[in-house]
């Protein structure tokens, strides 16, 4: 999917750089959410997490959503300044961890993580708060 997205912009000229950026961000979110889920399953100390693993992984958005150029283009996403990009990526990673914990039945652990980033998340003018991560799959 990554190669396909790059080729659509740089080889075939079928999509703009802005669409490529949205597709890459979508792929990054999918990778982060899958990684968070798998880390929790690997680190699980009890069978409850492992028992929920299949349904948890099944609930993740598929990478095919990242090929939906029309859907991605319809999302209203604020611009992220280069100075805030790192903060956004940190928030995005933590939100993925929160979702994974929720999906695997570790809601209290997810809530603790969310409390730790809540002030930054609430004031964030980024897709982590606005039209991206949270509106796609509610916590």
3-state secondary structure at position 26: helix
Q: Is the pLDDT of residue 133 over 60?
A: no
Residue 15 domain flag:
no
pLDDT in tens, 30-88: 999 999 999 999 988 888 888 898 888 888 988 999 999 898 888 877 677 788 888 88
pLDDT digits over 3-14, tens only? Answer: 998 998 999 989
Please check whether residue 9 lies inside any domain of the structure: no
Question: Does residue 34 lie within any of the structural domains?
Answer: yes
The predicted model scores a pTM of 0.77
Contact 132, 77 (CB under 8 A): yes
Domain membership of residue 4 (yes or no) is no
Q: Which residues of 55-75 are buried (b: 16+ CB within 10 A; e: fewer)?
A: ebbebbeebeebbebeebeee
The number of distinct structural domains making up the chain is 1
Per the structure, the complete domain to which residue 51 belongs is given by 28-64+78-136
Please, are residues 17 and 5 in contact by the beta-carbon 8 Å criterion?
A: no
Let me know if residue 39 belongs to a domain. Answer: yes
């Amino acid at each position: 999917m990554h190669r396909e997205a790059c080729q659509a912009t740089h080889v075939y000229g079928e999509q703009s750089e802005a669409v490529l950026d949205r597709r890459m961000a979508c792929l990054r979110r999918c990778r982060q959410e899958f990684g968070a889920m798998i880390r929790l399953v690997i680190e699980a100390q009890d069978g409850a997490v492992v028992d929920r693993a299949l349904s948890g992984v099944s609930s993740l958005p598929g990478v095919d959503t990242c090929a939906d150029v029309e859907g991605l283009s319809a999302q209203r996403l604020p611009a992220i300044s280069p100075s805030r990009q790192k903060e956004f990526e940190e928030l995005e990673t933590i939100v993925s961890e929160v979702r994974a914990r929720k999906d695997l039945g570790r809601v209290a652990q997810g809530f603790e993580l969310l409390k730790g980033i809540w002030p930054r998340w609430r004031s964030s003018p980024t897709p982590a708060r606005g039209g991206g991560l949270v509106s796609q799959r509610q916590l």
